Amino acid sequence: MSFQNRLKQMAKLCGLGYGAFAVICVYKEDLNFYKRYLMPVVHLLEPENAHKFSVIMNKFRVLPKSKYMDPDCLKVNLFGRTFSNPVGIAAGYDKNAEAVLGLDDMGFGFVEVGSVTPLPQQGNEKPRVFRLNKDQAVINRYGFNSDGHDVVLQRIYELRENNFDGILGINLGKNKISTDPIGDYVKGIIKFGPVADYLVINISSPNTPGLRNLQSKNELYNFLVPLVQTINRIPNRPALLLKLAPDLSYEERKDIAEVINKKECKVDGLIISNTTISRPENLHCKKEALEAGGLSGRPLKEMSTIMIADMYKLLNGIPIIGVGGIDSGEDAYEKIKAGAKVVQIYTSLIYNGPPVVTQIKKDLVKLLEKDGYKNIEEAVGKRS
């Protein structure tokens, strides 16, 4: 055998060996393997293409189902349902309800899809997603790219018909060219109310012009009244949540609390928070930070946790889903102790891969044991 052929055989053997090693690491949910090797390879793709690739992988359930069995201490009772664990996937990842089963396989305690708009729309021009690798952050300005109510609703019907009993939230948005935002959200409540465990009114995305103005005191009151009236007419009424921006001042937060405390505007919970339009001075990726859009990931962590604590106190322990910069069980636990009953991740999935879900849950179990809590609910709002 020639030297050249021997080299080729060695290369094949090495490739097969690495492939076998990779399969074993994926099967074992090896977080370090994903962080150091697999996710950097995925990141060779342009960010939006990497996102699409990930959704396709989950749509066809390519990855093995997580073997971690959620212990009883992670169960949370919320919105009339029992969550097997408090870690969910935030809206923005599975915009069109294509990857729900794959996300459920990862071990998420609940899945939130959307934002879904009444009519299909393309969203903003590309490129519209940017990684800030050194900051473990992302800037996006997708602009509610959506397949529309009818297509997404059909996918959810198919899920339910195939006996999917996981907890499903549906995040609602408005069409960019709509002149009737209230009407857009009313349509969403009527369409998805019968198939959702909870609905989210998203008026905090920075990527749809004028949307965040609906968070102001007077506009919010006039906006919420018809939505609450509509959801109260839905049989087997799902929970109605409001998703807020982290950039609101404390006075604006107080105004929102005052509105929500009114019976006719009473929502069932909050999601805190959406992405931020601020750019912290300590960001390392200065060039990428100049891009317009919402910043998510590690730089958002403290900002969202502070807001969770504020709204929890202002609204007497209203149920909160905490989002923003969660990379570990410690990060999730901070938000729970600030007042979040459950949490969501997204950006950390981009940098750490699917095993981060199991790692967060394992960390939470240890932290509960350390503090002497029997379950997650005992730790909610216990921030010192």
Tokens of 213: 């103005």
Q: Which CATH homologous superfamily contains domain 66-379?
A: Aldolase class I (3.20.20.70)
- pLDDT of 4 reads 57
pLDDT, averaged per 10 consecutive residues of the chain (384 residues), comes to 53 46 60 87 95 95 94 97 98 97 97 97 96 97 97 96 94 94 96 97 86 86 96 95 95 95 96 94 95 96 97 96 97 98 97 96 98 97 84
Tens-place pLDDT, residues 242-286: 999 999 999 999 999 999 999 999 999 999 989 999 999 999 999
- pLDDT of 1 reads 54
The answer for residues whose C-beta is within 8 angstroms of residue 268's C-beta and 6 or more apart is: 79, 198, 239, 240, 241, 319
The residue extents of the domains of the chain are: 66-379
Q: Is 216 in the active site?
A: no
CA-to-CA distance for 230 and 183, rounded, in angstroms? 11
The vertex-347 CA angle with 346 and 348, nearest 5°, equals 95
Three-state secondary structure call for residue 120 = coil
Strands 320-323 and 342-345: parallel
Active-site residue among 54, 205, 296, 348?
205
62 to 31, 53, 66, 148: CA distances (angstroms): 17, 11, 12, 26
Tens-place pLDDT, residues 124-164: 999 999 999 999 999 999 999 999 999 999 999 999 888 99
- pLDDT of 7 reads 46
- pLDDT of 207 reads 80
CA-to-CA distance for 317 and 382, rounded, in angstroms? 11
Quote the pTM value. Answer: 0.93
